[in-house]
Amino acid sequence: MSGVPAPAVLVVVGAGPRATGLLERIAANAPELWDGTRALRIHLVDPHPPGPGRIWRHEQSPLLRMNSMAEDVTMFTDESSTIEGPVRPGPSLAEWAARHAGHDPRRSPHSPGLPAPPPAPAAPEPEDAPRARTASPPPADPDVLAELRTLAGSDFPTRRAQSAYLDWVFRRALAELPPSVTVEWHRATATAVTGPADGPQCVHLADRATPLTADLVVLAQGHISSAPDARHRAHAEFARRHGLFHLPPEFSSDADLSALRPGEHVIVRGFGLAFIDLMALLTEGRGGSYRTEADGTLTYLPSGREPVLHVGSRRGVPYHSKTRYRLRGPRPPLPRHFGPDAVDALLAGARPLDLRHDVWPLMAKEIGYGHYHELFHARPGRTTLPWPDFADSYDRLDWYSDDMAALVASAVPDPADRLDFEALDHPLDGVSFDTPEAFQEHLRDHIARDVARRENPEFSADLGAFLALLSVYGHLPRLVASGRLTARSVADDLDGWWHGFFSFLASGPPGFRLRQLLALSRAGVVRFVGAEIRIGTDEATGTFTATSPTVPGRPVHAGALIEAYLPRPSLARTEDPLLRGLYRDGALAEEVVADATHTHRSGLLAVSPADGHVVDPSLRGPHPRRIALGAPTNSRAVAAFARPRTDAPVFRQNDAVARALLRTLSALPGSPSPSPSPTSPPATRPAMSQTASAIAHTPRSPGPPDPAEPADGPPGRPWAGVR
């Protein structure tokens, strides 16, 4: 028997969208960087289905929806991607859904009166690109299939539809791997990683005694829950003593709300997407429904099983509604004022940087450029200058200068067409009401005006600002990774203000959700508390309390408290056993930003900015065989998919890491061993191993697998199945 090099082995902990994106980039770069004479075995470890993972798994309420339009969701690189590896275009969620119905995803039956110009054409595939084997049966869930068959580009899909898309993307990535690369999914939880820095790593699984041995390990667990902090523990203890309900920060799809009684008063802290999800689950999820009136407004028809939700937050208002229109003018040429050159200029100096003072004015000017570019091109009748004249002056002025304010006031007569970040950020500042009823009316009017604006193409300048906001988001990580921001600025401005402000503007709910919120408010099922909400406890009455300066002197008492926001990352409190163990053993580090005046502990996993290698305190630097990606890390690149044609940071990072992995694995020596079949299971493989076709259906079920399923690949696709 002839000797061949032993297979290289990569273990990826996590099999959700981030791991799927990495696998797609490995497939794209393998023809250039992987010698097919040596086998590469990739093990995916995740108790949840590969592709969707935990957050996007099929097994969640069909009431839960994405906050992005179907045409704005992609897992694929395109002509905008600035990557070293090959661009491999693929369909957006809308384009993929259209394959199940044969309709044009750009035409929406739900958007009358909103004619849309064709979007930019998809980038052509390079001639040498491997042809994706995309023929596949429809999802097994008939409700998901029915949704896909009518899904338009401007619709907001269910999370189950996104789950089906991610499942398909995963199988397409498998199909494009070369024959020398096999993938095996272990439906298990990784509990530990051990091994020397200069040798093989052992990944221990909860359900087996023998660990997986790997040359390299990638941690891609995605969003991870954290145990409650001291404040939440105190509230939980108060609830236990008085027989109340308390829900700490949690993912909505995982929350158990069954203990909330009909008519029970519930204080909800948080007005973002977690609240919107909980609102749907506690109303429609309990049998309520909506009736559309002749004037288009909604009326809520209660089931009688709903609790009463008293909601407030720091701003006191819900996130801004997502836009429902497309650009009417040409796409703004971004970046313009905050891109690589601007970041280079900021880093050229020697002094520490303050985000709000040194960086934000450039970011604001970039967002403003996107806003006014669309306004001047789409609605020139609402401006007093030709665009070239305005742009020439705009480019030369500082965002917060008096001259800039004068230019905008002169060229844009209507204040409603101007971009005012301060008014957007704090809509209730300086506003108070004598009675809760007066505030209910005020906030309903605020929400109604926001929805109307975000669905009216007359205000498409807001979309121009949104695109520029995404561009800013994509160029900020390099500056953050430089370490030049002061510790106080990282704490207060980056992790504090900027994250919340970006989400408030860019990550709001679909307009129909806010119309439902208005109906629930009119029905008395939802009550607005106000801004700067403060949560307390009243031992005398045995209730939680909520107060707000928006309606002073009017506390709310309730028998339940829900913290409606995601848990903050915390290595010290993480519920992931692998990270918890590595942190306890000193094998990974929390990001600590310190200077002469402040120390900030972010709770994030510290990684090398260049390549994502885990910083190991015992090595006083990056661990050469352990890499971490995504939400738990201080790269702060939490998104796993992106809007098309935005040169998304996640695709850049996935490509860079995939190429580094392939280069490193190729350079590692392979000791001769008997030649195995690439698809042969190990001798210890249990009988539950499944074929590729069965696995392709398992995450999407219910329903039996289709034996004719090609798993998007030719017969003999090197997919080792599940263990």
Burial of 161 (0-12, 13-18, 19+ CB in 10 A): buried
The answer to whether residue 613 sits within a structural domain is no
User: Which DSSP state fits 415?
Assistant: G
What is the model's pLDDT at position 7? 96
What is the model's pLDDT at position 110? 36
pLDDT at 717 over 50: no
User: Which DSSP state fits 714?
Assistant: -
241 and 143 within one domain: no
pLDDT at 505 over 90: yes
What is the model's pLDDT at position 433? 98
Whether omega before 704 lies within 30 degrees of 0, making that bond cis, reads no
pLDDT band at residue 324 using 50, 70 and 90 as cut-offs: confident
Token digits of residue 296: 């288009």
% helix / strand / coil in the chain, to the nearest 5? 35, 15, 50
The answer to whether residue 464 sits within a structural domain is yes
Which of 168, 154, 66, 65 is closest to 113 using CA atoms?
154
Helix or strand holding residue 303 (H, E): none
DSSP output for 56-74: T-SSS-TT-B-SS-GGG-B
Alpha helices (H) along 524-624: 577-584
CA distance 272 to 665: 43
Q: Give the pTM.
A: 0.88
Percentage of residues in the chain having pLDDT higher than 90? 81
Percentage of residues in the chain having pLDDT higher than 70? 87
More confident residue, 249 or 127: 249
pLDDT at 671 over 60: no
The answer to whether residue 39 sits within a structural domain is yes
* pLDDT, the chain, mean: 89
366 and 267 within one domain: no
218 and 77 within one domain: yes
CA distance 542 to 528: 22
Q: Could you list the residue range(s) of the whole structural domain that residue 239 is in?
A: 230-319+509-563
Residue 455: CA atoms inside 13 Å, Cβ hemisphere, count?
A: 20
The answer to whether residue 610 sits within a structural domain is no
pLDDT band at residue 684 using 50, 70 and 90 as cut-offs: very low
Angle, in degrees to the nearest 10, between helices 499-506 and 461-481: 150
The answer to whether residue 632 sits within a structural domain is no
User: Which DSSP state fits 332?
Assistant: P
Contact 630, 20 (CB under 8 A): no
What is the model's pLDDT at position 720? 53
Report the C-alpha dihedral over residues 505, 507, 513, 514, rounded to 10 degrees.
-10
pLDDT tens digits along 183-196: 999 999 999 999 99
Q: Mapping DSSP to helix (H, G, I), strand (E, B) and coil, where does residue 245 land?
A: strand
More confident residue, 80 or 696: 80
Backbone angles phi, psi at 512, to 5 degrees: -65, -30
Lowest mean pLDDT among 4-8, 142-146, 311-315, 463-467: 4-8
The answer to whether residue 497 sits within a structural domain is yes
pLDDT tens digits along 457-490: 999 999 999 999 999 999 999 999 999 999 999 9
Number of other CB atoms surrounding residue 627 within 10 Å? 26
β partners of residue 556: 546
pLDDT at 678 over 70: no
553 Cβ contact list (under 8 Å, min separation 6): none
pLDDT at 297 over 80: yes
Strand 216-219 and strand 8-13: the pairing is parallel
13 and 156 within one domain: yes
What is the model's pLDDT at position 703? 32
What is the model's pLDDT at position 115? 33
Q: What is the largest CA-CA distance in the chain?
A: 88
pLDDT band at residue 714 using 50, 70 and 90 as cut-offs: very low
Token digits of residue 208: 């087996």
305 Cβ contact list (under 8 Å, min separation 6): 262, 286, 287, 288
Backbone angles phi, psi at 409, to 5 degrees: -65, -35
* Single-letter amino acid, residue 656: A
What is the model's pLDDT at position 310? 99
pLDDT tens digits along 568-609: 889 999 999 999 999 999 999 999 999 999 999 999 999 998
pLDDT tens digits along 168-216: 999 999 999 999 999 999 999 999 999 999 999 999 999 899 999 999 9
The answer to whether residue 601 sits within a structural domain is no
What mean pLDDT comes out for the span 544-548?
99
User: Which DSSP state fits 720?
Assistant: E
What mean pLDDT comes out for the span 327-340?
97
More confident residue, 401 or 671: 401
pLDDT band at residue 619 using 50, 70 and 90 as cut-offs: very high
145 and 114 within one domain: yes
526 and 482 within one domain: no
What is the model's pLDDT at position 610? 81
350 and 294 within one domain: no
What is the model's pLDDT at position 51? 98
Number of other CB atoms surrounding residue 353 within 10 Å? 17
What mean pLDDT comes out for the span 545-556?
98
pLDDT at 124 over 80: no
388 and 249 within one domain: no
166 and 125 within one domain: yes
What is the model's pLDDT at position 139? 85
> What is the C-alpha end-to-end distance of the chain, expressed in Å?
29
Identify the CATH number of the domain in which residue 315 sits.
3.50.50.60
357 and 477 within one domain: yes
What is the model's pLDDT at position 206? 97
The answer to whether residue 58 sits within a structural domain is yes
User: Which DSSP state fits 504?
Assistant: H
514 and 472 within one domain: no
CA distance 478 to 482: 6
Domains held by the chain: number: 3
Number of other CB atoms surrounding residue 57 within 10 Å? 19
Contact 313, 532 (CB under 8 A): no
pLDDT band at residue 674 using 50, 70 and 90 as cut-offs: very low
pLDDT at 709 over 70: no
Which of 248, 253, 220 is closest to 579 using CA atoms?
220
704 and 661 within one domain: yes
